[in-house]
Amino acid sequence: MSDLPVIRLRPKSRPQAIRHGFPWVFADEAVLDRRTRNLPAGGFAVLEDSDRRPLALVTVNPNSRIVARVMDGDAGVTIDGDWLRARLSRALSMRARLYSAPFYRLVHAEADGLPGLVIDRFGDAAVIQPNAAWADAMADQIAEALAEVTGVSTVVLNGQGRARSLEGLEERTAILRGTAPTGPIPVAMNGATYLADLMGGQKTGLFLDQRPNHAFAQRLATGADVLDVFSHVGGFGLAALAAGAARATCVDGSGPALELALGGAHAMGVADRLDILQSDAFKAMDGLAAEGRRFDLVVCDPPAFAPSKQALDAGLRAYERIAKLAAPLVAPGGYLVLCSCSHAVDLTQFRNVSARGIGRGGRRGVLIHTGQAGPDHPTLPQLAETGYLKALFFRLDG
């Protein structure tokens, strides 16, 4: 421990938050003198309280608003291959209990004790997103440990997105082990087949977090005419068809994503019951309403409209607008599913704007179910950001 630099909390900060499991130290909570500001991004240090008592081993990034992230409550550990293998083995053990097939989020950042690191597994391949400087610097060691623990032969690094820019990291994509997949990988979930593009798709290629919400929607989909707005590669639409929906329409702005949705439908043998519409989602809903279209089940699963507190007000307005546009598309007695993956929007706020939007759309409804991400996306109770996904299921009358 004596070989590591020290970063110290300010006297008025709250060291008990760290002791009780909060994993971040913000820049205004730490003593940022010249020495601290010159620490390398992604390096490690011992975090001390203002009385110089060790609190944890942390990774430091003086360029980030989150100046330190807790790696381990033991300030004397060494972050090396053994440490990585132990954390990955613990994460794998839980997923192996939960899922019969190796398609899941293996590492959910802070909630799995690997801050800023996301790993999604797709059978023999895995995609890592190193969204913190330490994980980016140790990406090769992470890939090696990942292969040893899980047996995957291909590891893709997808270094894109807003989280990396906040850390001062450049966008990059690389093959860390094995060879690049020659095409989309089929992923079976809830009886549906999805095609995951690990190299060119959004995020890691497939949104695995909605799996339990797909399953609940399937209970409403038998014999139904379904509209899946912001469908990506067919998330809710393909799940509905697998459950016996009469027809599904997937709307998305991405042509390649819709082609993957159609490919999944062909793999399932249900392509004759799937329609795809490439369009801005707001314009598409306006157009469908003008045509007088009505659906038994409408799902809206947009991207994060409020990725930060600064974007909260605009994001809430956007979610309300979605509800207003979607509500008239639901047949009497039908169902409306509204989703948010914005961690800056809490459940109460999202529920309120959704209900208001439904009212502004001339409809009334009752909330029958509230969903969240699956257990492969665990929530760290001390960090609300890890419980970002919300799914509201309404039955609309009249």
R_g (Cα) of the chain, nearest Å = 22
Which tens digits make up the pLDDT trace of 14-33? 889 999 999 999 999 999 99
pLDDT of residue 12: 83
Provide the pLDDT for residue 282. Answer: 97
Share of the chain above pLDDT 70, in %: 99
Instruction: Calculate the dihedral angle through the C-alpha atoms of 32, 33, 38, 40, rounding to the nearest 10 degrees.
Output: -30
pLDDT in tens, 153-169: 999 999 888 888 889 99
Q: What is the pLDDT of residues 287-296, one digit of tens each?
A: 999 999 999 9
Burial bucket for residue 232 (CB in 10 Å: 0-12, 13-18, 19+): buried
The residue ranking higher by pLDDT, 380 or 201, is 380
Low-confidence winner among 202-211, 236-245, 373-382 (lowest mean pLDDT): 202-211
- pLDDT tens digits for range 333-359: 999 999 999 999 999 999 999 999 999
Q: What percent of the chain has pLDDT over 90?
A: 90
Average pLDDT over residues 360-374: 97
Q: In a 3-state reduction of DSSP, which class is residue 240?
A: helix
Mean pLDDT of the chain: 95
Return the pLDDT at 1. Answer: 45
Q: Residue 201 above 90 pLDDT?
A: no
pLDDT tens sequence across 57-84: 999 999 999 999 999 999 999 999 999 9
Name the helix (H) or strand (E) containing 269.
none
Residue 116, pLDDT above cutoff 90: yes
Local structure of 174: helix, strand or coil = strand
**Buried/exposed 309-330: b ≥16 CB within 10 Å, e otherwise:** eebbeebbebbbbbbbbbbbbb
Phi, psi for 100 (deg, rounded to 5): -80, -20
Partners of residue 108 on adjacent β-strands:
118
Q: What letter does residue 304 receive in the DSSP assignment?
A: -
pLDDT greater than 70 at residue 364: yes
Which CATH fold topology does 81-177 show? Transcription Regulator spoIIAA (3.30.750)
Give exposure, 110-144, as e/b (b: 16+ Cβ within 10 Å): bbbbbbbbbbbbbeebbbbbbbbbbbbbbbebbbb
Query: Span 178-186, mean pLDDT?
Result: 94
| Across 175-184, 194-203, 308-317, 344-353, least confident range | 194-203
Q: Which CATH number fits domain 185-397: 3.40.50.150, 3.40.50.2300, 3.40.50.460, 1.10.10.10?
A: 3.40.50.150
CB count in 10 Å sphere of residue 273: 18
d(CA 335, CA 356): 16
Contacts of 109 (CB under 8 A, 6+ apart): 115, 116, 117, 118, 131, 386
Active site residues: 341
Task: Spell out the domain ranges in the chain.
Answer: 6-72, 81-177, 185-397
pLDDT tier for residue 42 given thresholds of 50, 70 and 90: very high
In sequence order, which residues have a C-beta less than 8 Å from that of residue 39 and are 6 or more positions away?
A: 5, 7, 45, 60, 62
Domain 6-72 is of which CATH architecture?
Roll (2.30)
Nearest to 301 by CA among 224, 173, 391: 391
